[in-house]
Amino acid sequence: LCRSDNMAARFWATEKPIWEEDRTRKTFSPDSLQEFVEFCEELKSDTLLKYLTLRLNGDVEHLRLLRDALILNTTLADLYLHSCLLTADSARELAEVLKVNSTLRHLGLNTNRIGPVGAHHLAEGLKENVGLERLDLDGNDIGPEGAIAIAAALAVNATLKIITLGSNSIGLAGNQALADALLSNQSLVRIDIDSNHIGSQGAAAWLSLLKTNVTLSASFFYTNNFTEQDDGEFRELLRDPDRKAAAAIIAASHYADTKPAREIPLASGD
C-alpha cells in the first residue's frame, strides 16, 4: 500500500462511520409482546442506552417486563412514556423501579391515566428513590388525593429537582399540601402546576412559601385564575433584594385566558 492508502486505512479503523447507529438513544414501538420481551431482555444488560422513548398501549404486562429490566439496568438515564395509556397498575410497576434504581434521572409520564391511586404508588417509590431528578406527570388526573400523596413524598425526597403537575385538577387541598411540603424540601428547584385553576387562595399558598423557600427558583402558574392583585404580589415579592431565587417566576393573572401569561423577571422593573 502507498502512504495515502495507509493513512486512509488508519482513519477508517479509528473513526466511527457516519452511518453507525447512535446506541445511546432509542425510540421503540413494539409490534408484539414477544418483541418487547426480547427488547427487555437486552435492556437488562445494556450498557450503552441512555435515552429511551417507548410507545406502548397501556398493557400492564409491558410495564412488568420493563420493571424487571430496569431493576437490573444500570445506565439508562431518561425514560419517556408519554401518552402510553398507563394506569394506576402501570404506575405501581414503575414505583417498584424507583425504589431500587438509582441511575434513572428523568421519568416522563405526561398524558396518561395514572389517577390518584397511581400517584400514590409513585409517591411511595419517590420516598425511597435516591436518583431521580425530574418527574413529569402533566395531564394524569391525579386530583387532590394524588397531589397530597406526591406532597408527602416531596417532604422526604432529597434528589428530585423538577416536577410537573399541570392539568391535574389538584384542587386547593392538593395545592396547599404541595406548598406545605416545600417548606422543608431543599432540593426541588422547579414545580409546574399550570392549568389547575387554584385561584387566589391557591396563589396565597405559593406567595407565602416563596417568602421562605429560597431553593425554589422557578414556578409556573399558567391558567390558574389568579387575579391582577395576585400578579402584583408576585411582582412585589420578586423586587425583594433578599430574594435568592435565580430564575424567573411565571405568574398567570386573570388575563391568562385572553393573553399569553407574562414572565416576571427577578428584581426588575415593569
List the chain pLDDT tens, one digit each, 270 residues. 455 555 554 444 444 454 456 889 999 999 999 999 999 999 999 999 999 999 999 999 999 999 999 999 999 999 999 999 999 999 999 999 999 999 999 999 999 999 999 999 999 999 999 999 999 999 999 999 999 999 999 999 999 999 999 999 999 999 999 999 999 998 999 999 989 989 999 999 998 998 888 778 767 777 888 888 888 887 777 776 665 443 445 544 333 333 334 443 433 333
Say what the pLDDT of residue 220 is: 72
Interatomic CA distance for residues 198 and 221, integer angstroms: 9
Question: What digits encode the pLDDT tens for the residues 42-64?
Answer: 999 999 999 999 999 999 999 99
Please compute Rg for the chain using Cα positions: 22
Say what the pLDDT of residue 223 is: 81
Q: Do 174 and 140 contact (CB within 8 A), yes or no?
A: no
Taking the alpha carbons at both ends of the chain, their separation in whole angstroms is: 72
The sheet with strand 190-192 has its strands ordered as 25-28, 51-54, 78-80, 106-108, 134-136, 162-164, 190-192, 218-221, 249-251, 262-264
- Quick one: which H or E segment has residue 79? strand 78-80
Q: Return the bridge partners of 262, or none.
A: 251
Residue 95 buriedness (CB in 10 A; 0-12 / 13-18 / 19+): buried
Say what the pLDDT of residue 168 is: 97
Tally of CB atoms within 10 A around 132:
24
Q: Are strands 249-251 and 262-264 parallel, antiparallel or unpaired?
A: antiparallel
